[in-house]
Amino acid sequence: MRAAGWGRVVLISSDVVGQPMPAAATYPAAKGALEAAALVLAVREARHGVLTNVVRPGFTRTERALTHPGFGQEAIDAEGARTPTGRICTPEDVASTVAYLASAANGHVNGEVVSVAGGRHLTR
């Protein structure tokens, strides 16, 4: 990317960063470290035409969310009800955000952590 003078790095985090998860403390810690590393890259590589950003999805409607014990349609409905948009994130919501940040259309977004969670972080 440096040699080409152009590049886009998009890392995927999670909206669990900063939330207590006693049963899985290492997951939010690892995602927090990923976000910190992305910010370093954003500062260091921008002068070479490489923009670095993070996408932070919220609870996402996936096959795993529908079938995993403890999740399921009831959990999806409950989380959607607590989200300002009235629904949880879809894979398409995440993909379109990543596609923009990774594209040439993104000419100046750098060092950002973009939440794709329908504003859920506003209601916690």
In a domain, 1, yes or no: no
Q: Which of 27, 72, 78, 91 is catalytic?
A: 27
Contact of 12 with 97, CB cutoff 8 Å? no
| Averaged pLDDT for residues 10-18 | 91
Beta bridge partners of 121: none
- How much is the pTM? 0.90
Question: Is 27 a known active-site residue?
Answer: yes
Which residues are within 8 A (CB) of 50 and not within 5 positions of it... i.e. 6 or more apart?
Answer: 1, 2, 6, 7, 8, 9, 41
- pLDDT, tens digit (0-9, with 9 covering 90-100), for 75-118: 888 889 999 999 989 999 999 999 999 999 999 999 999 999 99
In a domain, 73, yes or no: yes
- pLDDT, tens digit (0-9, with 9 covering 90-100), for 29-57: 999 999 999 999 999 999 999 999 999 99
Look up residue 4 and give its amino acid: A
In a domain, 2, yes or no: no
In a domain, 106, yes or no: yes
Enclosing H/E stretch for 79: helix 72-81
In the prediction, which pLDDT does 93 show?
Answer: 97
Beta bridge partners of 55: 12, 114
Look up residue 101 and give its amino acid: L
Domain span at 48:
7-122
DSSP symbol at 21: -
Contact of 123 with 83, CB cutoff 8 Å? yes
In this model, does residue 73 exceed pLDDT 90?
no
**Residue 99 belongs to a domain with what CATH number?**
3.40.50.720
In the prediction, which pLDDT does 45 show?
Answer: 98
Report how many domains make up the chain: 1
In the prediction, which pLDDT does 102 show?
Answer: 98
Dihedral sign (CA 124, 23, 32, 57): negative
